[in-house]
Amino acid sequence: MDEKSVQCIQTLASRSGEPVGPATLENMDMRLAEQSRRCARCDGTGWKDVGSGTERRVTRCDCFLEAQAKLLFKRCNVPARYTQCDFAKYKTDGSTSLAAAKIAVESWAARYPLDRTGLLLIGSSGTGKTHLAIAAMRELTNKSIHCLFCDYRDLLKQIQNSYNPSVQVEELDLLRPVFEAEVLLLDDLGAVKPSEWIWDTVSLILNTRYNQNRTTLITSNFLDGPAAGTEEAKQLRAAQREKKEQAAHSTDDDLTLADRIGERMRSRLFEMCRPVLVMGSDYRRNFRSGSVR
């Protein structure tokens, strides 16, 4: 097994809690070899000849690299509903906004790791933000990059459960993979009503990854904007009220990302990520009505 593959597997194993050593590497190598056993290009060796004449040398066969990418993607912890997501399956239905978002995310994935700035996919619910983010993760695993999917709500619940003495898991054990993943997808940021504890938790995650210069992909249904208490927000909401005849009280539609994670973390987020607006019709609604997306 080549050095890059060994390093990749060691990283995966250490972050998944498995023992790292010859047995682990041998097991992974056997699984990858099994995938390439019937390959006509390499005759099951996982290696193929390149070059010609006196310059002949060997490199990893495509079958081996494809099998390795599948194993890496499987370890991303992507929910079963989204395991088939890729860029080819993301349909824009003629929407220029969705087409632009798809191009932006696909181009980012193609450039990585030359550009390690993360992405913040924001837009209305059901527009395929998670689909695009997971499609990007799939492309990265093809480059032997370790990625991790993390649902924002589930993570907060798991951390809260770790405070229960009967649960044999500590908060740091839950957060270590989140801190250390080379590329983290934090899905549906802001989905839980904010509290001081939630703000502290989001701050810990984002600041740790920022300080370690790690890449973060984030999706959120809350559009960017100032938090409710700021003067900028007051001016913005005053302008919005002028356009609405009825604005009796604030709803989730009126809230911004800063309202959900705090103004300070909003600022940090835009240091870490490049915003991509994903706006269009509801994908899930179209799917239920029979249209293909």
Q: Choose among 27, 22, 82, 108: nearest CA to 74.
A: 82
Which pLDDT tens digit goes with each residue over 209-258? 999 999 999 999 988 865 555 554 444 455 444 433 333 344 555 688 88
Q: Specify whether the CB–CB gap between 195 and 201 falls below 8 A.
A: no
Instruction: Decide: 156 and 168 in contact? Cβ < 8 Å.
Output: no
- Express as a percent the part of the chain with pLDDT over 70: 70
CA distance 204 to 51: 50
Task: Convert the pLDDT of each residue in 73-85 to its tens digit.
Answer: 999 999 999 999 9
User: Which domains, and CATH codes, for the chain?
Assistant: 3-68 (no CATH), 78-288 (3.40.50.300)
**Rounded-to-integer distance, Cα 173 and Cα 151, Å:** 16
- φ and ψ at 93, to 5 degrees? 50, 35
Q: Is the peptide bond before 275 cis (omega within 30 degrees of 0)?
A: no
Cα 134 to Cα 226: distance, rounded to the nearest angstrom: 28
47-50 and 57-60 beta bridge pairing: antiparallel
List pLDDT tens digits, range 151-210.
999 999 999 888 887 766 788 888 999 999 999 999 999 999 888 999 899 999 999 999
pLDDT-derived band at 13, boundaries 50, 70, 90: very low
**Pick from 197, 241, 250: nearest CA to 222:** 250
